[in-house]
A = this chain, B = another copy of it.
């Protein structure tokens, strides 16, 4: 996607900031606070120590726009205060924290969101030294492993989500999976709300579903990839992982924010299966444009920790997000992290996905290395789920061949039906 330069020698982070008063002074204070100093220089902060450990402001670009009202509340703000925006790049010696993802978070995304001088602060990107590539596994399966295990050599991996999200018992879930398998689906996932409740215990669900999946594989040679949501405490996730392996499952799912970084790193280290990373909760960190995180730095962390599939929402989705942002997220997952360790994750498109988004999605990405999960787009097809899966595949074939959907539909009845109003 993008040309990759050598990894930087220092940890680098880009921010969008909004400050009361001079942005340079505010950003320099932040650099001090996030490294050798505190709000003010302290007695032990000698010039030698500072040279060795201080964060540096590498770049500061003032943005022209005038800001009338502060984006975020702060204390001590005077009426008519001069509020400005800038993009800033800070860097830290890797020796401050070593190649540790959790400690990286405290450095690049720690106390700084609370700083009084900022009425806006958003992490736009990070760039990490090679030592991080050596310290973490990254995705063990990624695109190639997912294609191998799901038996989808080319084109997108077509999937769906088990709905209702909550309420089905193990046998009702397995019956739905049987229908979907018969329909030729590649991938099925649990909803993130479904984990191990007493009405649908994880173990019973896995056993009932894998009986169906294995029987289908025995009959057809195709093992449908099911991402079982094993989110839970660490010992629970370990036990559930081992059950998945024992039952012949080929994927697990975990909610990134519910599990957290140390849990995901542990999962990444121990998992014998691809990790389908669900991003629920992400909205709280990203939805305000002057606060929190852009998707770009955030997905780098999880990929390095071992996520094989990363949710990116979808074009024309039912959430708040613009298509441009969705495309940027997907491209980010497909951009190498390090020259010798690309850590590519397969982007997962979801939320209101039908045949209609295929041309736009393919045009934006230039690849079919993606997972498309459609609910209504498959289940509600007039010809049934099997026709729904075929229609989605046909839509992507058309997109890749640069044939308009309507033209392709002339010779592909399932696609034609899916396009009917």
B-binding residues in A (CB < 8 A): 33-40, 42-45, 49-50, 52-54, 72-75, 95-98, 100-103, 105-107, 109-116, 118, 121, 163-168, 172, 176, 192-193, 195-199, 231-234, 236-237, 255, 257-266, 278, 280-285, 287-289, 291-293, 313, 318-322, 352, 375-376, 379
Q: CB-CB < 8 A to A237: which residues of B?
A: 262
Q: How far is the CB of A320 from chain B (nearest CB, A)?
A: 4
Copies of this chain present in the complex amount to 2
Cα of A308 to Cα of B292 in the assembled complex, Å:
27
Task: Report yes or no: B116 in contact with A320, Cβ–Cβ below 8 A.
Answer: yes
13 A-B residue pairings within 8 Å (CB atoms): A33-B165, A98-B195, A98-B196, A100-B236, A102-B259, A106-B231, A106-B257, A106-B281, A111-B280, A114-B282, A234-B234, A259-B261, A284-B291
- CB contact between A39 and one of B111, B193, B236, B318 (< 8 Å): that residue: B318
Assuming the contacts A113-B287, A192-B106, A285-B285, asked whether A96 and B259 have C-beta atoms less than 8 A apart, the reply is: no
- CB contact between A288 and one of B35, B54, B288 (< 8 Å): that residue: B288
Q: How far is the CB of A197 from chain B (nearest CB, A)?
A: 5
Not counting A106-B192, A106-B258, A261-B263, a sample of 16 additional A-B residue pairs whose C-beta atoms are within 8 angstroms of each other reads: A33-B165, A36-B164, A36-B165, A50-B167, A75-B320, A75-B321, A96-B197, A100-B196, A100-B232, A102-B231, A102-B233, A113-B282, A113-B287, A233-B265, A257-B260, A259-B261
Assuming the contacts A96-B166, A166-B35, A283-B114, asked whether A103 and B375 have C-beta atoms less than 8 A apart, the reply is: no
By beta carbon, the residue of chain B nearest A278 is: B106
By beta carbon, the residue of chain B nearest A163 is: B42
Assuming the contacts A39-B318, A98-B196, A98-B197, asked whether A281 and B105 have C-beta atoms less than 8 A apart, the reply is: yes
Task: Report yes or no: B103 in contact with A258, Cβ–Cβ below 8 A.
Answer: yes
Task: Report yes or no: B116 in contact with A319, Cβ–Cβ below 8 A.
Answer: yes
Cα of A105 to Cα of B321 in the assembled complex, Å:
22
Task: Report yes or no: B112 in contact with A320, Cβ–Cβ below 8 A.
Answer: no
Q: How far is the CB of A195 from chain B (nearest CB, A)?
A: 4
Q: CB-CB < 8 A to A232: which residues of B?
A: 100, 102-103, 262
Task: Report yes or no: A165 in contact with B35, Cβ–Cβ below 8 A.
Answer: yes
By beta carbon, the residue of chain B nearest A259 is: B262
Cα of A339 to Cα of B312 in the assembled complex, Å:
42
Q: How far is the CB of A233 from chain B (nearest CB, A)?
A: 5
Q: CB-CB < 8 A to A288: which residues of B?
A: 72, 288, 291
By beta carbon, the residue of chain B nearest A51 is: B167
- CB contact between A319 and one of B114, B265, B375 (< 8 Å): that residue: B114
Q: CB-CB < 8 A to A263: which residues of B?
A: 102, 234, 260-263, 266
Cα of A95 to Cα of B36 in the assembled complex, Å:
49
Assuming the contacts A44-B167, A49-B167, A259-B102, asked whether A109 and B318 have C-beta atoms less than 8 A apart, the reply is: no
Q: CB-CB < 8 A to A165: which residues of B?
A: 33, 35-38
Q: How far is the CB of A296 from chain B (nearest CB, A)?
A: 15
Q: How far is the CB of A266 from chain B (nearest CB, A)?
A: 5
Task: Report yes or no: B280 in contact with A106, Cβ–Cβ below 8 A.
Answer: yes
Task: Report yes or no: A231 in contact with B103, Cβ–Cβ below 8 A.
Answer: yes
- CB contact between A193 and one of B96, B176, B265 (< 8 Å): that residue: B96
Cα of A376 to Cα of B37 in the assembled complex, Å:
12
**5 shortest A-B CB distances, which residue pairs?**
A260-B260, A113-B283, A262-B263, A114-B283, A110-B280
Task: Report yes or no: A115 in contact with B319, Cβ–Cβ below 8 A.
Answer: yes
Task: Report yes or no: B49 in contact with A164, Cβ–Cβ below 8 A.
Answer: yes
Task: Report yes or no: B233 in contact with A199, Cβ–Cβ below 8 A.
Answer: no
By beta carbon, the residue of chain B nearest A109 is: B281
Task: Report yes or no: A255 in contact with B287, Cβ–Cβ below 8 A.
Answer: no
Task: Report yes or no: B97 in contact with A193, Cβ–Cβ below 8 A.
Answer: yes
